[in-house]
Amino acid sequence: MKTRIVEIEEEHIDQETIREAGEIIRSGGLVAFPTETVYGLGGDALNPASSRKIYEAKGRPSDNPLIVHIAKWEALSAIVKNIPEEAVRLAQVYWPGPLTMILEKSDLVPAETTGGLNTVAVRMPSHKTALAFIEAAGGYVAAPSANRSGRPSPTLARYVSQDLAGRIEMIIDGGDVELGLESTIVDLTAGTPVILRPGYITRVMLESTLGRVEEDVTILCDDSGQAPKAPGMKYRHYAPKGELTIISGPQQAVTDYINAQLDRYRTENKKTGVIASEATVSAYRADVCKNGGSRQDESALARRLYRILREFDDEDVEIIYAESFEGAGVGQAVMNRLLKAAGHRVTELK
C-alpha cells in the first residue's frame, strides 16, 4: 500500500483534504492524524474490521483497547450506557483536551475496539485538525498512538511515517505536537475515580473538580505484583533500542557516576548517550548529550522526551543514562514514561 502524506495547518484547515481523509475512515481505511498530545492512528471506532486493521498495522496485541475520539459532547451518549455526573463536570473543565475517561460502553461499540472490555475509553482532543477530521470521519475515531507497538509515541509526522508507511492509507502532517505525552486516563466506572495513566491533567487538577481521586498503584512502581487496570500499561513501552538506566541521587554524585560509566563504555567502543537537565547537560562526556530542558519547567521534558528517545535510536546509541526527573505535576507523567522506557532500571546513589 502506498501511504499518502498530506500537510494540514491547524490554522488554515484545507476542507477538501479533510473530506478525503474522512472518506478513507468511512470506507474502512486508516489515517494517522495530529492531536495536541501525540499523533494518533485513526480508524472507524464503530467498525470491527477497522479496529482489527489498527492492531495489525501497529503490531499491537488485540487485548489492548483503543481510545474512541469524539469531536462534540453530543456524540458521547450513543457510545456509553450512562453519563455519570463526574464525566459531565470533567468535560466542562477539560474537554476538548488531554483527558480520556473510561465509561460503561453501549452496544454500538464493537468488542474489537475495546479489547473485549465492557468499558470504553473516550477523549475529545483540542487539536483543530483532529476535530475537523473526526467530524468528517463520521464522529467516532478509534485511535491509539501512531507508533509501531513498543516504540515511543510519535510527536512528528516523520516518526509516524518511519513506523507505519506502507501500512496505512494516509498521514496528516500537522507539524510538531503541542504537549508530547499521551492523555491522562481516568476510570469513572469504579466508584472513586482512578487515574490509570498520568498525563498533563494531574491528580491535583482532577481533585479540584471531583474531590477525591485515586491512582492505580502500578503507575510509578512495577513491583506491586498487580496488573495495571489500563491493559496497555502492562506492556513494555517506549523502549529505545539502547539500554537505558535512570540514575537518581545528589546531583554531583549522579554526574560523577554517569561520567565514570561513560568512560568505561568508551573503552569498550560502545556509543553512549545522556539525558540531562539544561543546567547539567554540558558536564557529561557522552557521545550524544540530550538537553531535557529546565527543571523549573516540568513540561519541557514532556514535550521532547519521545523525540529524544527516537533520536538515540536514529544515532544508534547503545548505552543511555538519564538523570531522574521527578516532579509534582506533569513531572509524574514524564517519570512514568521514562521508567517504562528504562524497563524500570534505576540506580539510586546516596
State the residues that interact with ligand TXA by CB under 6 A.
35, 37-38, 40, 64-67, 98, 100, 102, 114, 117, 119-121, 123, 125, 143-145, 182-183, 185, 196, 229-233
Q: Considering only residues 51, 145, 255, 336, which one is a binding residue for Mg ion as defined by CB under 5 A?
A: 145
Of 337, 345, 289, the C-alpha closest to 315 is: 289
Q: Minimum CB separation from ligand TXA for residue 234, in Å?
A: 8
DSSP state of 302: H
Q: Is 37 in the site for Mg ion (CB under 5 A)?
A: no
Nearer to ligand TXA by Cβ, of 96 and 273: the residue is 96
Q: Which stretch in 106-114, 145-153, 211-219, 286-294 sits in contact with Mg ion by CB under 5 A? A: 145-153
Residue 60's identity, in one-letter code, is: R
196 versus 274: smaller Cβ distance to Mg ion: 196
* 135 φ/ψ angles, rounded to the nearest 5 degrees: -60, -45
117 contact choice in ligand TXA, Mg ion, none (CB below 5 to 8 Å, kind-dependent): ligand TXA
Residue 145 or 155: the one with the smaller Cβ distance to Mg ion is 145
Question: Quick one: DSSP state of residue 167?
Answer: T
8 binds, options ligand TXA, Mg ion, none, Cβ within 5 to 8 A by partner type? none
Q: How far is the CB of 183 from ligand TXA (least distance, A)?
A: 4
Tell me whether residue 196 or residue 342 sits nearer to ligand TXA (CB atom).
196
Q: In terms of CB distance, is 123 or 290 closer to ligand TXA?
A: 123
Question: Which residue's CB atom is positioned nearest to ligand TXA?
Answer: 232
In angstroms, the CA 65 to CA 291 distance is 34
Whole-number minimum distance, CB 252 to ligand TXA, in Å? 37
Q: Which does 110 bind (CB under 5 to 8 A by kind): Mg ion, ligand TXA, none?
A: none
Between 145 and 161, name the residue whose CB sits nearer to Mg ion: 145
CB 50 within 8 A of CB 142: yes
Provide the 3-class DSSP secondary structure of residue 33: strand
User: What whole-number distance in Å separates Cα of residue 334 and Cα of residue 350?
Assistant: 23
Task: Report the nearest approach of ligand TXA to the CB of residue 13 (Å).
Answer: 18
Q: Which is nearer to ligand TXA, 121 or 319 (CB)?
A: 121
Nearer to ligand TXA, 216 or 298 (CB): 216
Least Å from the CB of residue 174 to Mg ion: 18
**Closest distance to ligand TXA from the beta carbon of 313 (Å):** 19
Q: How many residues belong to the site for Mg ion (CB under 5 A)?
A: 1
Q: Report the residue number, 119 or 255, with the smaller CB distance to ligand TXA.
A: 119
Using the structure block, give the residue that is written with the C-alpha cell 512495577: 222
Q: How far is the CB of 97 from ligand TXA (least distance, A)?
A: 10
Helix (H, G, I), strand (E, B) or coil at 230: coil
Q: How far is the CB of 344 from ligand TXA (least distance, A)?
A: 17
344 close to 224: Cβ distance less than 8 angstroms:
no
- 344 CB neighbour count, 10 Å cutoff: 13
What's phi and psi for 244, nearest 5 deg? -105, 130
- Residues of this chain, 79-98, that bind Mg ion according to CB under 5 A: none
Q: Which of 245, 283, 215, 58 is nearest to 148 (CA)?
A: 58
- List Cβ neighbours of 85 (8 Å cut-off, separation of 6 or more): none
**Minimum distance from CB of 189 to Mg ion (Å)?**
21
Binds 59: which of Mg ion, ligand TXA, none (CB < 5-8 Å by kind) = none
- CA dist., res. 251 & res. 239, Å (int): 25
What does the alpha-carbon distance between residue 39 and residue 143 come to, in Å, rounded to a whole number? 9
Q: Half-sphere exposure (CA, 13 Å, Cβ side) for 284? A: 29
Which residues fall within 8 angstroms of residue 59, CB to CB, at 6 or more apart?
148, 149, 150
The half-sphere exposure of 145 on its side-chain side, counting CA atoms within 13 A, is 24
Q: Which residues bind Mg ion (CB under 5 A)?
A: 145
